[in-house]
Amino acid sequence: AENEPSWETPCSKLLVYVSTPGCDGFPSLDSKESYKLSVSKGSMLLSAETIWGALRGLETFSQLVGRDENGTYYINETQIVDFPRFPHRGLLLDTSRHYLPLRAILETLDVMAYNKFNVFHWHIVDDPSFPYESSTFPELSKQGAFNAMTHVYTASDVSTVIEYARLRGIRVIAEFDTPGHTLSWGPGAPGLLTPCYIGKTRSGVYGPINPIVNSTYQFVTSLFQEVSTVFPDYFLHLGGDEVDFTCWKSNPEIRAFMVDVGFGEDYKKLESFYIQRLLDIVSSLGKGYIVWQEVFDNNVKLRPDTIIHVWKESNLQYIKEMANVTRAGYRALLSAPWYLNRISYGQDWIEAYKVEPLSFEGVPEQKALVMGGEACMWGEYVDVTNLTPRLW
Amino acid sequence: RYYEYMFGHSWRRMRGRRPLAARVEPELFQLQVVIEAGDPGCDRHPHLGSSEAYHLIVTEPVAILKASEVWGALRGLETFSQLVHEDDYGSFLVNESEINDFPRFAHRGILLDTSRHYLPLKSILTNLDAMAFNKFNVLHWHIVDDQSFPYQSIYFPELSDKGAYSSNLIYTPTDVRLVIEYARLRGIRVIPEFDTPGHTQSWGKGQKDLLTPCYSGGQPTGSFGPVNPVWNTTYDFMAKFFKEISSVFPDEFIHLGGDEVDFSCWKSNPEVKEFMKKQGFGTDYAKLESYYVQNILDIVSSYNKGQMVWQEVFDHKAQLKPDTVVQVWMANNYAHELSSVTGAGFTAVLSAPWYLDYISYGQDWKKYYSVEPLNFPGSEKQKKLLIGGEACLWGEFVDGTNLTPRLWPRASAVGERLWSSSNVTNLQDAYRRLTNHRCRML
């Protein structure tokens, strides 16, 4: 050739080969995300077993493309064989402390894809607000959202999130945290929460979900029936953290119940009583569940495939907790050292990066039970005006 | 623009006025703005002595906003815009009120750092808007530093040619004029800081033989230290450079920096050591620093500009002009420093407790709000010398992607502390107003 270009012949196509596509399906915990990327003279090939691996490979490919001073795009000859160390790589967003408009969630999903995250843990409701529009119980968001017109997620919004995530190989795991963290459920579901007492009279304040009335379990069944259909992932996050026993202790009916069933003064047993029934309900709906570590710490009877979410940080207790959880045979997710809402001055990414999830005392079988982890962005001080620069 | 702030976001605006017959409430038709001074100052720039007081009477049918100068009218307009609220039906309401207001401190500033990270013009202008919402009146533009030199100089184009992060990450003379005018229209002074002799690594890229060559074992190492104080060419350069700065920036004051000068390079340089001997400075390099600073102060004085300096300049006993303003920034025992500075008869500006770049989890606005600037030992006369403060947002971890949410609304706490009366300290009340104010700013 007369004008031999200094670069090799331009590549015009990246061939993507997927052996078992499943493009219409949803990603799952077992999805294979491995891929092979081969870039050489005149041929670029991305091959993966599944479409989810192809997505990860596409992201890598996009990171390999550079641009020189003349504006020419180039890529180095490369051979990559890649697969994730952990199958559950998640991000938690909290849309209860502050409502996050749809665009903020979708933008987050985009950036998650750039970073090969594959689980969006949607902490959708909590004490401050209930933005989830339930078809079974429309009053929940009508009474519980910050603004029932402007600060809710309609069925259409939710399916938009799920599909947008799916197209990026991201699972959406919804968390309906009970029995604590449920104040916003009260206005739309009278009789659900425990009325607190001062002496013999009601104080007007409410506490966690009332575990001793049948109506609670009817409500929970109906709600989770809906949630199980709306959210296609096999797993639901059921919460179970930070249950404050003070209100239960103040309620005479509950005190009477405690005596009746022989729980004495051990309210952890009452919490377990509720959670066990909740887990049974959710199981019967064909879903698996993830719970916060208290559920494990308080000796609730769990199904063997329960995933325990380790979040308590102080004094590095999480390292011991990871050992305890896995030693008991349960799968674990790590979030404790990755509470990104706890901002501090300087390059705090370094501390997060240095965490070694498997640095706890245990045998290889235990370590194999660590599914991965989640970075959490709790919403007390976060809304759409500062979410993106705070998280990324 | 205040009309837009108050009514612009409302969908009701499209609907038009209700018919005359339907009106039952008293209606406010007009806000008359009266500026009383013979020369209102509309064509000029605000300065330290400008009057920002205003008198606002809201009553039907016409409200009156009176101020001595246009700067007070701007403050009053901001207050008026905060009084107007919308009811559930989209009607705009304002309570009958009478307000007599004026700032407690005359210098209420925000420091932005455009050297550690370049800040696009848009960021700076958005920030000026936010400052106006909070009655801030000084933009302390820390425009160049070690990392980059984005200021495009007319006399010395090489400074930004070689010293900026890249050719498009600069502030052209037009950009600078835009910032100054945008600020002026909001009653905000722009005080540029050209920090020397330390913090000048980027200057050396475009100006050969300005910085001190460092030595090791009798040989130059190839690296450079602070501005070289012993060469005449240094002062020739500075004289020409500050001539330009004095004409580009209309404010009476220029900030000359003078902080964190690392003496080790000077100590290693044989010419500098020789000079120290000749001057009889012994081994006290603070004296050399003061020698340099005094020369710069003289140069800038000769251009009829006042000077602001960081506290080290005072601490190292340089001879300051009587109206030099000393900015107190070191957090350790700053009350004591305020006593010393004002005790020596100098004007002071407080920044030490307000380094907003030091982020932390939770409601840190409370600790900024709780600062009482006059809590230092001193006479009445001394306390008068504390003319205000500045919230600083240093740029090591800040750029256009996170400037606004990081600075606001935390800086609002500082804004109120500097404007309002010393007895406005209730945190619950402030919280309530701050949450409303934040939504309004958005």
Tokens of B251: 């404010």
> Is the Cβ of B42 closer than 8 Å to some Cβ of chain A?
no
Reported as a single tens digit per residue, the pLDDT across B117-166 is 999 999 999 999 999 999 999 999 999 999 999 999 999 999 999 999 99
Give A267-292 as a DSSP string.
HHHHHHHHHHHHHHHHHHTT-EEEEE
CA nearest A391 in B: which residue? B402
Other CB atoms within 10 Å distance of the CB of residue A200:
6
Q: Considering only CB atoms, which chain B residues are within 8 Å of A345?
A: 357-360, 397
Q: Considering only CB atoms, which chain A residues are within 8 Å of B401?
A: 388-389
| Cα–Cα distance measured from residue B339 to residue B331, given in angstroms and rounded to the nearest whole number | 14
Bridge partners of B107, per DSSP, are: B388
| Cα–Cα distance measured from residue B389 to residue B372, given in angstroms and rounded to the nearest whole number | 11
Active site residues of A: 242
Distance from CA of A16 to the nearest CA of B (A): 35
Selection from A74, A46, A43, A77 nearest residue A60 by Cα: A46
> Is the Cβ of B364 closer than 8 Å to some Cβ of chain A?
no
**Assembly ipTM:** 0.91
Provide the pLDDT for residue B87.
87
Selection from B290, B374, B284, B373 nearest residue B324 by Cα: B290
Provide the pLDDT for residue A8.
57
Asked if the Cβ–Cβ distance from B406 to A389 is below 8 Å, we say yes
pTM of the model: 0.94
| Cα–Cα distance measured from residue B25 to residue B387, given in angstroms and rounded to the nearest whole number | 45
Query: Which has the higher per-residue pLDDT, B3 or A98?
Result: A98
Are the beta carbons of B153 and B210 closer than 8 angstroms?
no
| Cα–Cα distance measured from residue A194 to residue A157, given in angstroms and rounded to the nearest whole number | 31
Instruction: Note the CATH architecture for domain B107-441.
Output: Alpha-Beta Barrel (3.20)
Of A341, A346, A389, the CB nearest to B405: A389
For chain B, the structural domain boundaries read 1-16+23-101, 107-441
Q: Is the pLDDT of residue B23 over 90?
A: no
Of the candidates B181, B260, B274, B372, the residue annotated as catalytic is B260
> Is the Cβ of A351 closer than 8 Å to some Cβ of chain B?
no
Q: Is the pLDDT of residue A204 over 80?
A: yes
Please, what is the average pLDDT of chain A? 95
Q: Is the pLDDT of residue A206 over 50?
A: yes
Provide the pLDDT for residue B10.
63
- Element of type H or E holding A320: helix A317-327
Percent of chain B predicted with pLDDT > 70: 96
Tokens of B292: 């340099």
Q: Is the pLDDT of residue B325 over 50?
A: yes
* Fold held by A88-391: TIM Barrel (3.20.20)
Q: Is the pLDDT of residue A96 over 60?
A: yes
- Element of type H or E holding B254: strand B253-257
User: Chain A to chain B, count of Cβ pairs less than 8 Å apart?
Assistant: 31
Q: Considering only CB atoms, which chain A residues are within 8 Å of B359?
A: 343-345
Selection from A306, A363, A293, A300 nearest residue A335 by Cα: A293
Provide the pLDDT for residue A9.
63
Three-class SS of residue B33?
strand
Of A341, A347, A385, the CB nearest to B442: A385
Provide the pLDDT for residue A2.
47
CA nearest A343 in B: which residue? B361
| Cα–Cα distance measured from residue A372 to residue A235, given in angstroms and rounded to the nearest whole number | 15
Confidence band for A1, pLDDT divided at 50, 70 and 90: very low
Q: Considering only CB atoms, which chain B residues are within 8 Å of A346?
A: 397
Provide the pLDDT for residue B25.
75
For chain A, the structural domain boundaries read 15-82, 88-391
Q: How many angstroms separate the most distant Cα atoms in chain B?
A: 93
Which among A97, A313, A343, A388 is the top mutation candidate for probing chain B, defined by the most B β-carbons within 10 Å of its own β-carbon? A343
Q: Considering only CB atoms, which chain B residues are within 8 Å of A386?
A: 402, 405-406
Reported as a single tens digit per residue, the pLDDT across A313-335 is 988 999 999 999 999 999 999 99
Q: Is the pLDDT of residue B20 over 60?
A: no
Reported as a single tens digit per residue, the pLDDT across A291-312 is 999 999 998 889 898 999 999 9
A1, A65, A71, A74, A78 from A5: Cα distances, Å: 9, 19, 15, 13, 20
Asked if the Cβ–Cβ distance from B402 to A389 is below 8 Å, we say yes
Asked if the Cβ–Cβ distance from A344 to B361 is below 8 Å, we say yes
Provide the pLDDT for residue A4.
47
Interface of A with B in 291-330 (CB under 8 A): none
Cβ contacts of residue B203 below 8 Å, gap of 6+?
Answer: B144, B149, B159, B163, B196, B210, B211, B227
Reported as a single tens digit per residue, the pLDDT across B258-295 is 999 999 999 999 999 999 999 999 999 999 999 999 99
Provide the pLDDT for residue A42.
82
Q: How many angstroms separate the most distant Cα atoms in chain A?
A: 98
Provide the pLDDT for residue A39.
95
CATH 3.30.379.10 is held by the domain B1-16+23-101: yes
Cβ-count burial A311-333 (b if 16+ within 10 Å, e if not): beeeeeebbebbbbbbeeebbbb
> Is the Cβ of B358 closer than 8 Å to some Cβ of chain A?
yes
Q: Strand A43-48 and strand A15-18: pairing?
A: parallel
Of B360, B401, B404, the CB nearest to A343: B360
Provide the pLDDT for residue A325.
98
Provide the pLDDT for residue B11.
56
Q: Considering only CB atoms, which chain B residues are within 8 Å of A390?
A: 402, 405
CA nearest B406 in A: which residue? A386
CATH of A15-82, one of 3.40.50.1000, 3.40.630.30, 3.40.50.300, 3.30.379.10: 3.30.379.10
Confidence band for B17, pLDDT divided at 50, 70 and 90: low
| Cα–Cα distance measured from residue A200 to residue A194, given in angstroms and rounded to the nearest whole number | 15
Provide the pLDDT for residue A17.
96
CA nearest A380 in B: which residue? B362
Confidence band for B90, pLDDT divided at 50, 70 and 90: confident
Provide the pLDDT for residue A22.
87
Overall average pLDDT of the B287-305 stretch: 97
